[in-house]
Amino acid sequence: MSTLTDLQRQLVWDRLLAVVEEQAQTLMRTAFSTVVREAGDLSAGVFDTHGRMIAQAVTGTPGHVNAMAASVGHFLERFPVERMHPDDVLMTNDPWMATGHLNDFTVVSPVYFKEEPVALFASTSHIADVGGRGFGPDANDVFEEGIRFPVMHLFKAGERNDALMEILAANVRDPVVAEGDLYSLAACNHHGSLQLVDMMDEFDLESLDAVGEELLRLSQAAVENEIEALADGVYRQSMRVDGYDEPIDIQCALTIDGKLIDIDFDGSSPISRYGINVPLTYAQAYASFGVRCLIGNEVPNNAGSLKPISVRAPEGSILNAQPPAAVSARHALGQMLPDVVIGALAQVLDNGVPAEGASCIWNPVLMNSNLRDGNVPDANFVINPIFNGGTGARAAKDGLSTTAFPSGVRTTPTEINEVTSPLIFWKREFKPDSGGAGRLRGGLGQIIEIEHAHGAGFSISKMFERVVHPAQGRDGGHDGARGRVGIKDAQDFRGKGKETLPAGATLIMETPGGAGIGSPHDRDPDRIEEDLREGVISAKAAESIYRSDQT
């Protein structure tokens, strides 16, 4: 078929979305790592033979998807399509070639139709352990953080790279999970390839070039039209966050110029000596996502819709960390960037945008503290559960409680956490009054209490934000509540770093709340009463904050 009608083009587009979503679901169903299988910490997409992302799965995180959109080009630099075999599978976990830290493995597979390469499938998932210190912010360079693979073959002409697998198994704490996750990535790409070939055969397509080019052109034009409707200018926003041992400042200058948006993070803090640094690809992924939340949010996310947005930061800044900087916890800072960008856009969109939220997920690594304790059942364990704080109040609604924005990563079920570790989760409940008060209230954080089932001590590696610097309210709205982590009825811990809880201690975590919008005195009294009935706010807060000056 040489040309497609509008209806056929729409059918092809819908089919492509279905194909990449099946690809993502295959990854979730076959993954070994709990954070992928239960929380959806992954990405999946189809690319043309030039490395441009045509379609992405709905399931997945912006940090993975948008960073992966750039990473496929690095694969093609090393292995051009002309040199690939139909049964090749390539992989890397290089933070600067893929999605920002060693735990994320990206796998790319070519698709052949009638003996010609027509597309590439790519997928990324978080593998629980890559050796080194383990997942956390404490390393001083990337060499301490684990094993690093350049772009290389996982399967070459259908033959497994045995040397790669042996090296991986020798360097990680759970080789079965690591190897299984790599197979799941290869499997989901293979499933996508089969579905794509069926689609091309059904629509009598010789290649994806023409339809892909048209989809990218339409997507780019749609975003450009929305940008062009905004007032040109430079809009500045800043944010101070906790950092590791000292605060980090993010400085953003967002320039709207005709059909283009440029985001410049010049003036942000310099590189840290700890693992909270952000490779530029990850900063670009989340900063561009902040734009796409408000501009062209109904336009498909692909290389075309991302093209009008450029993101830069000076080399040596914490948002453009160069090798060999430590980057394991790059999400702690990177996931703050959409709120910064949204704050800049609020100045040109008449504040019809959400307030700041908890933003960074709370994903502690919980593990045994003493491998030599032979008297404790299941002495050797490590889990990486996900907990979320509240989002900021939305343009016309309250914020969402215990919801991951911007990552979209789901909370891992308590049942899964308990069956994969000797820990008991005694409490997980909303934290009243944690959402910032306002005409529109911020979403709530949660309280979690955890204890070792056999009374033993255990360790926690923390990568938490908003413990010192809360989400900031907008237009008279109050800040969200700060987060907290420590030993119940004893000391508090700092938000980042590894700590050991003594035998019999109970870990307590309180995730941060989202900020409010507008004066609390302007809140609808019926909403105040509803919040009281549901335990979202306390009677004290209702009287002292919301009703104090109401007539």
pLDDT at 263: 98
Q: Which amino acid is at 263?
A: I
> What is the DSSP code string of 221-254?
HHHHHHHHTSPPEEEEEEEEE--SSS-EEEEEEE
The share of the chain scoring above pLDDT 70, in percent, equals 97
108 has which bridge partners?
90, 122
The share of the chain scoring above pLDDT 90, in percent, equals 92
Give the tokens for residue 345.
């856009």
Encode pLDDT of 341-364 as tens digits. 999 999 999 778 999 999 999 999
Encode pLDDT of 480-505 as tens digits. 999 999 999 999 999 999 999 999 99
Which run of H or E residues covers position 292? helix 280-294
Report d(CA 41, CA 47) in Å as an integer. Answer: 20
pLDDT at 5: 83
Report d(CA 187, CA 128) in Å as an integer. Answer: 19
**Burial class, 436, CB count within 10 angstroms (exposed 0-12 / middle 13-18 / buried 19+):** buried
CB within 8 A of 467, min separation 6: which ones? 242, 482, 483, 484, 485, 494, 495, 512
Closest among 365, 370, 340 to 353, alpha carbons compared: 340
pTM of the model: 0.95
264 has which bridge partners?
253, 312
Encode pLDDT of 81-125 as tens digits. 999 999 999 999 999 999 999 999 999 999 999 999 999 999 999
Confidence of residue 551 (pLDDT cuts 50, 70, 90): very low
Q: Which amino acid is at 363?
A: N
